[in-house]
Amino acid sequence: MTIRLVTFDALHTLVAPRLPIHVQYSQTFEPYLGKLDPEALKHSFKSVLKQVQQEQPVYRGGADEWWGYVIKRTAVGAGADPTAVNASLGQIIPRLLNRFSSREGYKLFDDTLPTIRQLKELNLPVAIISNTDARMRSAMDDLQLLSQVDAVLLSEEEGVEKPSRDIFYRACERVGVQPEETLHVGDELACDYHAATACGMRALLVRRLGPEGKGERKEADEDLTSVETVSSLAEVTEWVRRQLT
């Protein structure tokens, strides 16, 4: 069936941290907590993020409070003095929340805007489906991405997150197409590729080459058998063109 809508994940698909997240945390922590070991901070962030996602799915309790837990536990887990952490959270949390609400914290991949514009030239609407809070909307606006797309569904705003089928179906409904007429592109095997195909959509898994291709969601044991992958967003446009001919 002809593709009539292309949906994208946001983080690590269209948008990348301007510096690795643990580096940006380290820069923000240092004036208050001193220099923390980068590897310890990286491990702590990934571990804490996973825990809080399980404990409070879909930003339950509010995104600011949710990220406050992540920030506090990341610092303590990386070896920061708990007393110093508690004393400085009032300054650290707003700084990090603001940083990741804009181009200060994020950048677009070089192929993001060209790919979206090419899809629009093919008269295809584009939507974003992301397991993020509302600050991603602000960041995408600051990066001049928001005005290029037809719909944005963020898990905090929707109250549901990938891999739930509901958020994919909502994107289709808002644009007025059927799931089988939709292509979803993302970097997470379970939450993007398998979740989309379970809805009846077509899907492409992004696996970028080079330094920026070291996606946070890659797992050493992931099975990519029969999974359609692309190494750049430019390949998405070519894939769509083949479907339209």
Between the alpha carbon of residue 226 and those of residues 189, 192, 218, the distances in Å are 12, 15, 17
Residue 234 is part of a domain; what is its CATH number? Answer: 3.40.50.1000
CB 134 within 8 A of CB 158: no
151 and 239 together in one domain: yes
pTM: 0.94
Question: How many whole angstroms separate alpha carbon 83 and alpha carbon 70?
Answer: 16
60 and 30 together in one domain: yes
- Which strand (E) or helix (H) includes residue 155? helix 155-158
Question: How many whole angstroms separate alpha carbon 46 and alpha carbon 195?
Answer: 22
130 and 9 together in one domain: yes
Q: Give me the average pLDDT of each 10-residue run along the chain (245 residues).
A: 94 97 97 96 97 95 96 98 97 98 98 97 97 97 97 97 97 97 96 97 92 55 89 96 86
Q: What pLDDT does 221 receive?
A: 75
How many CB atoms within 10 Å of residue 58? 18
Range of the domain at 118: 5-17+105-244
46 and 85 together in one domain: yes
Q: What pLDDT does 114 receive?
A: 98
Q: What pLDDT does 210 receive?
A: 66
Count of domains for the chain = 2
Residue 59 is part of a domain; what is its CATH number? Answer: 1.10.150.720
Q: What pLDDT does 217 receive?
A: 46
